[in-house]
């Protein structure tokens, strides 16, 4: 099991994520994540299936699955300090399989968001991140969305 080690970059990312979550609510995050998921999912379907792009999409899906699993702690699940590697789609996945994995992962994230809202979990409730330290649920959602948009726009080419 890994331990939490907050780095300088982690501190900066935490501040950015918390600032981005400062004035959002679940409905706004649902709208934002729905739109970005559709946009990035469409992009994944149009890029060449190069090893670089396949690896990048696998990374993006793995991070979102890992982050969503971690956010479940806010619903009462046990905190497990693990890495994202075990959440990545299987090696050898095709572009088509990865696009489907991204779509289902984002749908699961949106369902989690609804579950948090229905359970009246405050968007300010904190959950530990391996490198960013304690982050609010809102910051986690901003972090997930920013990661997907950033990596899906600039890393996937």
Taking the model in full, what pTM does it have?
Answer: 0.93
Determine the 3-state secondary structure of 110 from DSSP: helix
Does the 8-155 domain belong in CATH 1.20.120? yes
Domain ranges (residues) in the chain = 8-155
Tens of pLDDT, residues 18-52: 998 999 999 999 999 999 999 999 999 999 999 99
Tens digit of each residue's pLDDT (9 = 90 or more) over 81-90: 999 999 999 9
Task: Write down the mean pLDDT value for the chain.
Answer: 94
Alpha helices in the chain (DSSP H): 8-21, 26-46, 51-71, 95-118, 137-150
Q: Do 157 and 52 form a contact (C-beta atoms < 8 A)?
A: yes
């Amino acid at each position: 099991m890994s331990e939490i080690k907050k780095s300088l970059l982690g501190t900066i990312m935490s501040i950015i994520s918390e600032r981005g979550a400062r004035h959002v609510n679940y409905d706004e995050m649902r709208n934002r994540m729905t739109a970005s998921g559709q946009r990035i999912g469409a992009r994944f379907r149009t890029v060449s299936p190069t090893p670089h792009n396949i690896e990048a999409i696998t990374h993006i899906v793995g991070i979102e699955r890992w982050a969503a699993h971690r956010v479940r702690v806010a619903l009462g699940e046990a905190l497990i300090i693990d890495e994202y590697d075990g959440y990545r789609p299987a090696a050898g996945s095709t572009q088509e399989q990865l696009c489907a994995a991204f779509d289902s992962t984002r749908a699961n994230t949106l369902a989690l968001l609804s579950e948090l809202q229905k359970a009246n979990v405050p968007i300010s409730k904190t959950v530990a991140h391996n490198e960013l330290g304690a982050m609010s649920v809102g910051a986690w959602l901003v972090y997930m969305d920013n990661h997907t948009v950033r990596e899906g726009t600039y890393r996937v080419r």
